Copies of this chain bind each other. A is one copy, B any other.
């Protein structure tokens, strides 16, 4: 039995992520999806809460033929203990999936195998683009699974991202974050 760990921020979970999961599904029996920066929300870069992202991911993976876990990972701001933190919040895993150099390095120093994938970078790029489209009322729905579009509508996600986008032009008093 092989269990994989795939880490991302998933703001939102989109088609790029979904294709990566499809590929990982051919390599493992179970998959943990780690939701990074779980405590962040309501910003342009991190609009959705951990709970909202859990819902996006769980709904999108429900028909996959492997056991999946969606696990929020709060930031610790301590790189040296981050791998232990992840390991304590996640079911035990055999291999990690990431294209982020820092994540790869941290897992490697801890002796954990990391696999990369050519699709990761494209997925990564889509995150910023999708949030820009959401903020500017451009087409974003075609870039995410239908389940994710439903979640975003249910939580009024587009209105939120458009509202908080205005904060950037207001440098003096960015409360609260």
**Interface on A for B, CB 8 Å cutoff?**
7-9, 36-43, 49-52, 54-55, 58-59, 62, 67, 69-92, 98-106, 109, 124-125, 127-128, 154-155, 160, 163-167, 170-177
Bound-state Cα–Cα, A128 to B50, Å: 31
A127: which B residues are within 8 A, CB to CB?
Answer: 172-173
List 5 A-B pairs, minimum CB-CB distance, nearest first.
A80-B88, A101-B166, A42-B79, A84-B84, A82-B176
Which B residues are CB-close (under 8 A) to A170?
99-101, 124
Contacts of A166 in B (CB 8 A): 101
The reply to whether A40 and B175 contact each other, CB–CB distance below 8 Å, is no
**Interchain CA distance A24-B39 in the complex, whole Å:** 28
A173 and B58 contact, CB distance less than 8 A: no
* A42 and B176 contacting across the interface, CB-CB below 8 Å: no
| Docked CA distance A154–B9 (Å) | 30
